[in-house]
Structure 1
Amino acid sequence: MTLTQSLLVIVALIATSAFFSLAEISLAASRRLRLRQMADEGDLRAERVMRIQEQPGHYFTVVQIGLNAVAILGGVVGEGSLSPYFQELFDLWLSPTASQTAAFLASFITIIAIFLIFADLFPKRLGMSNPERLAVRMVGPMQVLITAFKPLVWLFTVSTDLLFKLLRMPAERDEKITSADILAMTEAGARAGVLAQREQQVIANVFELDTRPVSSVMTSRDRIAWFLRDDAESVLRARIVAEPFSAYPVCDGDIDHVLGYVDAKDMFQRVLSGQPLSFDHGLTLHKALVIPDRLSLTEVLEQFQQAHEDFAIVVNEYSLVVGVITLNDVMSTVMGDLVGVQDEEQQIVKRDENSWLIDGVTPIQDVERALDLEELPHRDEYETLAGFLMVMLRRVPKRTDSVTWAGYTFEVMDVDSYRIDQVMVTRGKPAATADLVSEAGLSPAANP
């Protein structure tokens, strides 16, 4: 065989190997959601690709038969065609024995390099760029080859299936899509510019509803504005002016005996129409939806939907009122910073690049997100920033107490009747800040 003929054979083998590499990577990398979209648009080949993905054994068997056969032939042809020419070159400097060995190694390395670049790396990178489009083009020729090599395909497929059974390994592709998969896709879309960063954050917030407890969003007991059943109209008016909310619990004697709630819209309508603000004179008292404090926000949404309400009283296991929550509270959690609020109303105020002023009742998920922290220690023991400080200090914090963790210093700035109002968070530990060891008696090893 002449050099020209050998080179033509090598080119043909490289093209064949590239075809099988492209067929392999395009099927493996094809996204089922994209294939389903193509099928819905009328591309029948996409349906065939999805069926092969469900049972890819025959497909990959043909691919491996082709790749291995081409690799063997390529080695035989390449070594036999290139070695004589390399030997003639090396005979100028080396002994016959040494030049023969060097020629074999040179031809071997050359063939390996050519096949690696043109038959493996290039087609696989090409296949990864647009796998679905290439997969639908490859599926027809590959099905012809599956039929042509059916006896060999059957033999190798049965042998492989038997090996999977012996090892008790799943032989079928798992097509289950989890919330983590969806979040990973949205993050990739945000990085690629397909999704806006805020849109991606809204999607992440939706999935977070299932893990966030109602207590992380509700208005806590000490901040609830409520009425007594027999409050005078002047008291009701003064309370509305001082604490304007969309709804107010109405109680009998104390806050733990809730009779219902009054909608602020009903009160405004009566004021505008000149009617008296009194529960004894027609002011509507709505039945309150009561929910336990262990529900997730997803479950709260379900409760609102079933009861056709947007306001609920939150109670603990002792039937004591611990807070109230509205549909708007839940939706604000989903929308995040898309909901416009004034700085003074925000629970987290960024002062500069390295400091934040944070309300003590801020949900710990929001604190972690604002500070770009993956997870704070003892995460399952608290739900708010105040709870984090109590757990770390092992006592009720007082003003100037501080905790240092992961390069951040959390310093209590204001305490009102044992309730932590404001916490100053700074990146990096200031020299004047007391160490956690002296404040809480904990081991230095507990604070990286």
Structure 2
Amino acid sequence: MTFFQSMMVMGILMIGGGFLALAEIALAGARKVKLKILAESGDERAQKVLDVQAQSADFFAASQIGLNAAAILGGIVAEPAFRSFFADFLYQFFVGAWIEKAAFGLSFLVVTMAFILFADFMPKRLAMIAPEKIALAVINPTLIYVKICTPLAWVINAISNLLFRLFKVNTIREDNVTFDDIAAVMEAGAQAGVLLKQERHFIENVFELEERTVPSSMTTRENIVFFTPNEPEDSIRQKLATYPFSKFLVCNETIDQTIGYVDAKDLLVRILNNQKLNQLNETTIRSVLTIPDTLTLSELLDRFRASKETLAVVINEYAWVVGVISLNDIMSTVMGDWVTPMDEVQQIIKRDNHSWLIEGSTPIEDMKHALDLDELPDEENYETVAGFMMYKLRKVPRPADFVEFDHFKFEVVDVDHYKIDQLLVTRLSVINENLIIPNKTD
């Protein structure tokens, strides 16, 4: 075989090996979500790729047969040709028995590098750039090749399965998608500019509904405004004018004796129709959903969907009312400022890039987002920023009490009847930079 013929055969073998390497990486790296979308839109090739991914053993066996056969045959054919070429070249300058060994080494190096570069490395890099597109392009010829290699691939799979069982190796692939997987995709999308920061924040909040409990988003007991069945009309009018709530609880004597709730819209209609507001009765009082404070926001959404209600009273283990929560409160948790009224008092005020004023009733999840904190210590023991401070201080807080955590200083600014109203949060690095060390004097 002439040198030219050897190069032709080597080139054909490299093309075949490169195609198999390209197909191997493309079929393995093609994302199932995109393939399913393409398959549902009618692309038969996408469904074929999904089928190969589901039963990949035959394909990978056939692929390895072709890759190794191409490399071995390429070495057998091309190595003698290159060895003769290098030997003739070296004999022009040197004479000695070592020339044959040197020619063999050079030929082995050239053939190996050529197959690594053109039949392995470059095709795999190309496949990693657009795996789904390339997988669709190569799937039909790949399936034909797999059918040709089926008998030998079956033997290889049988031997490998026997060895796996012998060593008790689980070969079943788990395709469960976790939140960490989705978070990684969101992070990549945000870095690429495909996903906006606000959109990423929405998605993270939706997943947090499974972890956040009802107290993190409810209106607390001390902020609840309620009517009694015999509430004077002047008092009802005054509360409607003072508090911008769309729903008010109706309780017998105390807030723990809840009867139901009234919609402010219904009361306003009666006012416009010059009807009296006293004597609230069953025509105006609606039934209210009662839930325990241990429910997650996701579970509460299911309760709202099942009961067709949009307001719930939250009680603790002693059957005391600890707060109320509405469907709009859950939406505010997800959407943040997009659904929060602009005139509503902000719970987190950013003073500058290194300090924040935070209300004590702020849910810890909101504070973590504002400060870019991954976690707080023992989060299961509290729901609000005030709860975090009391848990860390281990006492009833007073103004100027502070806690240091993760390069932040949390300082109590205002306390009202043992309740933390406001905190000042400052980065410790900024505090340290602003420290003035006095000069020592004799």
TM-score, normalization by structure 1 = 0.90
Mapping 1:161-180, distance limit 5 Å: 161-180=161-180
Tell me the distance in 2 between the aligned counterparts of 1:282 and 1:136.
65
**2-side partners of 1:313 and 1:173: how far apart?**
45
Distance in 1 separating the partners of 2:232 and 2:275: 14
Q: Tell me the CA shift for residue 179 of structure 1.
A: 4.1
Residues 115-130 of structure 1 mapped to structure 2, 5 A cutoff: 115-130=115-130
Cα offset for 1:398?
Answer: 1.2
Name 1:110's counterpart in structure 2.
110
Q: Is the 8 A contact 1:216 1:383 kept in 2?
A: yes
1:412 lines up with 2:412 in the alignment: yes
CA distance in 1, matches of 2:325, 2:27: 49
Aligned to 1:51: 51
In structure 2, the residue matched to 1:437 is: none
Q: CA deviation at 1:414?
A: 0.9
* 3-state SS in 1 of match to 2:374: coil
Q: CA deviation at 1:120?
A: 1.5
- SS state at 2:261 partner: strand
Deviates more, 1:98-107 or 1:149-158: 98-107
2:404 counterpart of 1:391: no
| 1:28-427 correspondence runs (5 A) | 28-90=28-90, 96-280=96-280, 284-339=284-339, 341-342=341-342, 345-427=345-427
2-structure distance, mates of 1:90, 1:398 = 90
Q: Letter of the 2:139 partner, please give it.
A: V
Contact 2:210–2:298 (8 Å) recurs in 1 = yes
Which stretch shifts more, 183-192 or 396-405?
183-192
The CA distance in 2 between the partners of 1:311 and 1:397, in whole Å, is 33
Say whether the 8 Å CA contact 1:407–1:428 is kept in structure 2.
Answer: yes
Q: Which runs of no fewer than 5 residues in structure 1 stay unpaired?
A: 435-448
Does the 8 Å contact 1:218/1:323 carry over to 2?
yes
- Helix, strand or coil at the partner of 1:304: helix
Q: 1:282 to 1:162 in 2, by over 3 A?
A: closer
Taking the TM superposition and a 5 Å limit, the aligned residue runs for 1:4-43 are 4-43=4-43
Q: Distance in 1 between matches of 2:382 and 2:281?
A: 45
Pairwise CA distance, 1:374? 0.9
* CA deviation profile, 1:189-221 (whole Å, cap 9, x unmatched): 333333333223222222211111001000111
Residue equivalent to 2:438: none
2:331, 2:339 within 8 Å by CA — same for their partners in 1?
A: no
Letter in 2 for 1:17: G
Task: Quote the offset at 1:29 in angstroms.
Answer: 0.9
Q: Secondary structure at the match of 2:350?
A: strand
The answer on whether the counterparts of 2:332 and 2:340 sit within 8 Å (CA) in structure 1 is: no
Q: Does the 8 A contact of 2:209 with 2:297 survive in 1?
A: yes
Partner of 2:439: none
Alignment CA distance shift 1:367-1:87 (3 Å): farther
Shift of 1:292: 0.5
AA in 2 matched with 1:360: G
Q: Secondary structure at the match of 2:4?
A: helix
Q: C-alpha distance in 2, partners of 1:433/1:344? A: 34
Quick check: 120-129 or 183-192, which moved more? 183-192
- 8 A Cα contact 1:229 1:279, kept in partner: yes
What one-letter code is carried by the residue in structure 2 that aligns with 1:298? S
Deviation at 1:42, TM superposition (A): 2.3
Distance in structure 2 (CA, Å) of the matches to 1:93 and 1:375: 72
Deviation at 1:424, TM superposition (A): 1.1
The corresponding residue for 1:444 is: none
The Cα of 1:59 is off from its aligned counterpart by 0.6
User: Displacement of 1:2 after TM fit?
Assistant: 2.8
Query: How many Å separate the matches in 2 of 1:347 and 1:414?
Result: 14
SS in 1 for 2:177: coil
Structure 1 residue 433 displacement after superposition: 11
CA distance in 2, matches of 1:358, 1:94: 84
Indicate conservation of the 8 Å contact 1:364/1:385, yes or no. Answer: yes
Per-residue deviation, 1:241: 2.4
Amino acid at match of 2:348: I
Aligned pairs, number: 434
- 1:360–1:386: 8 Å Cα contact kept in structure 2? yes
Local SS of the residue matching 1:157 = helix
Deviation sequence 1:258-296 (CA, Å, 0-9, x none): 111111111111122222221357871111210100001
Q: Give the whole-Å Cα distance in 2 for the aligned partners of 1:245 and 1:340.
A: 13
Residue 428 (structure 1) shift: 2.2
Alignment partners' CA distance in 1, 2:93 and 2:410: 75
| Residue aligning to 1:443 | none
> Take 2:312 and 2:121, find their aligned partners in 1: how far apart are those partners?
60
TM-score (norm 2): 0.91
Aligned-pair Cα RMSD in Å: 2.4
CA contact (8 A) 2:229 2:281 kept: no
- Alpha carbons 2:87, 2:100 under 8 Å: kept: yes
Segments of 5+ residues of structure 2 without an aligned counterpart are 436-442
Q: Is the 8 A contact 1:211 1:296 kept in 2?
A: yes
Q: State the Cα deviation string for residues 360-390 of structure 1 (Å, max 9, x = none).
A: 1111111111111111122222221111111
The letter of the residue matching 1:426 is T
Distance 1:33 1:335 in 2: 26
Counterpart-to-counterpart distance in 1, 2:109 and 2:412: 68
C-alpha distance in 2, partners of 1:432/1:103?
Answer: 67
Q: 1:3 to 1:413 in 2, by over 3 A?
A: same
CA distance in 1, matches of 2:433, 2:192: 44
Q: Which moved more, 1:182-191 or 1:239-248?
A: 182-191
